[in-house]
Every structure is written in C-alpha cells, then in structure tokens.
Amino acid sequence: MAIKRVMVIGAGQMGAGIAQVAAQAGFEVLLHDANETALDKGMQRIEKLLIRAVQKTRITDEEKTSTLNNLKRAEKLEDARTCDLVIEAIVENMDVKTKLFRELDEIALAHTILATNTSSLPITEIAAVTKRPEQVIGMHFMNPVPVMKLVEVIRGIQTNDETYEKIAQMADKLGKTAVEVADFPGFAANRILMPMINEAIYAVYEGVASPEDIDTVMKLGMNHPMGPLELADFIGLDTCLYIMEVLYDGFADSKYRPCPLLRKYVKAGWLGKKSGRGFYVYN
C-alpha cells in the first residue's frame, strides 16, 4: 500500500520540521505530541516558517495554504490507526521510545511502517519490542529539516526490502537524498562527525590551539562552513557527549573515548548555544 497519510510524533525541533516537509510534499500529515503546549508551539513554528518562506518568495501563498491544509493536529495517539507511516521524533531515550513503539504496534494497522528519527539508538532494539520488526526502520533527518538534504535510512537487522524501498522513495518525494546505512552505533553521520568534534576538543584540551584557531583551521583549511567547536556548541555539548558515549560503549573501542574537557563542560552546565556558554560565550 502506498504511503499517503503520515503521523509525526513529537512536535519539537525535528518533528515540526519533518511534519512541515511532508505536508509541503503533499502528504496528509497528523502532528502529535504528548505535551499540548509543545504541540501548539510546533504548529505555530511551522506556520511562521511558511509565512517567512512566502515573504522570501521561496514558496507561493497557494503552496503555504495547501501545506497548512495538509497538516492537522492529532490530540490522540490512537489517530495513528489511520496512517500508513508513523515517524517518531520524541526524546532520545530508549525506555520512552520502546514504550511508544509497543503502543504504536497495538494501535497501527498491519501495513503501517513505524520509523524513528533517533540519532543514536539501535533500530534493531526498538524494532524488537514490536510484532512487526520487519516494518520498523530508522529515518534520520538532519537539523534544520526543511534545509538539510540528507536522510540516513537505517535498516535494523530484520527490516525488509519493501520497507526500505518505501522509505527511500518517501525521502525522495520530500526532496531529500536517502543514504542506506546499516544499524551500527552512530550510523554513518555521527560516527564520522562526532569523533572529529571530539578530536577538536582534545586539541583544545592539550593546548594545541585556541577554539577560535581550531575553527579557523577547519573553515579556511578544509572549507567547512562551520568550525567543529562552533558546530559542537550549536548541536549541544550534552548531545555530543551522549553520542560519544554511544560510540565508546557500542564499539568498546578506546578510540571513541570522550575528551575529559567535554565531560567537564557538560558537568559545569556549559552546554553550548542553548545554555549561553560552551566553547564560545553567547548573549
């Protein structure tokens, strides 16, 4: 059965972005959040971004209206019963995600695909709590979703080819490029990005150069649009540490050891841009 109706669960940074691009691509989208205020905020954020896109002539007023018509609030999780695909974008916590997937498995129709936007948790383990592990898959969007072109499509050990094909086609319809990735810690994007960020932090820790100079090396020397420490502050240092722990534990390999300076910053509450201080100070 073709994917027509999609439920996105979690109306935060990622979920609202995913709901927006799916509604823009013509899918019927239901956006759900356990927290009503978060759902209100997510819906408002989408409308604001669409208004801005019209002002900047990136989309027409008609496109804005049809996108908003395609998008509905879902107060109840039970509305997942009407959907062909559910994309979960809730908090990055295995217990909370597996509880939700158990519930969704009971609610959703037999053909429905259950996808997760997790950035680090094993798809195989999430799939294993359902009675449809072959229809569970990772769909890892990048932040901000309306701008970034990549979706890592992660196959759990039991994900079948039909599910993979449908999700790769869906990513294409959303205007994204899908890359097929196997289910190993950090998938591909974070397995490569996070050790680079961690190494940049080691360079600060060992006094090789200042954060500003390290970022300059990578921007001017490697043509990176942002330096690794600027990027770490943007992502959140707690998130960077969390993903390094996933790599370190998942591979049991010392090459992924989180830098002690990263741990110290997180302990101090220096989480980057969101807390006002990380490798840089923000107003």
Backbone φ and ψ of 132, nearest 5°: -135, 50
156 in the Ramachandran plot: left (φ > 0), alpha (ψ -120 to 50) or beta?
Answer: beta
| Catalytic residue (choose from 70, 117, 120, 190) | 190
Is 32 a residue of the active site?
no
Lay out the site mask for ligand NAD across 135-154 (x = CB under 6 A, - = otherwise): -----xx-x-----------
CB of 203 or CB of 237, closer to ligand NAD: 237
CB of 263 to ligand NAD, least distance (A): 20
CB of 59 or CB of 94, closer to ligand NAD: 94
Is 198 a residue of the active site?
no
Backbone φ and ψ of 279, nearest 5°: -75, -20
CB of 99 or CB of 173, closer to ligand NAD: 99
Q: Is 134 in the site for ligand NAD (CB under 6 A)?
A: no
User: Which part of the chain contacts ligand NAD (CB under 6 A), choosing from 57-65, 85-93, 163-171, 260-268?
Assistant: 85-93
Q: Is 89 in the site for ligand NAD (CB under 6 A)?
A: yes
Q: Is 118 in the site for ligand NAD (CB under 6 A)?
A: yes
Q: Is 105 in the site for ligand NAD (CB under 6 A)?
A: no
User: Binding residues for ligand NAD, how many (CB under 6 A)?
Assistant: 23
User: Which part of the chain contacts ligand NAD (CB under 6 A), choosing from 116-124, 159-167, 251-259, 271-279?
Assistant: 116-124
Residues in the chain: 283
Is 254 a residue of the active site?
no
| Catalytic residue (choose from 119, 120, 198, 230) | 119
CB of 210 to ligand NAD, least distance (A): 26
Is 152 a residue of the active site?
yes
Lay out the site mask for ligand NAD across 9-38 (x = CB under 6 A, - = otherwise): xxxxxxx-----------------xxx--x
Q: Is 156 in the site for ligand NAD (CB under 6 A)?
A: no
DSSP assignment of the chain, as one string? ----EEEEE--SHHHHHHHHHHHHTT-EEEEE-SSHHHHHHHHHHHHHHHHHHHHTTSS-HHHHHHHHHHEEE---GGGGGG-SEEEE---S-HHHHHHHHHHHHHHS-TT-EEEE--SSS-HHHHHTTSS-GGGEEEEEE-SSTTT--EEEEEE-TT--HHHHHHHHHHHHHTT-EEEEEES-TTTTHHHHHHHHHHHHHHHHHTTSS-HHHHHHIIIIIH--SS-HHHHHHHH-HHHHHHHHHHHHHHHT-GGGPPPHHHHHHHHTT--BGGGTBSSSB--
What residue ranges bind ligand NAD (CB under 6 A)?
Answer: 9-15, 33-35, 38, 89-92, 96, 100, 117-119, 140-141, 143
Give the residue numbers marked as catalytic: 119, 140, 152, 190
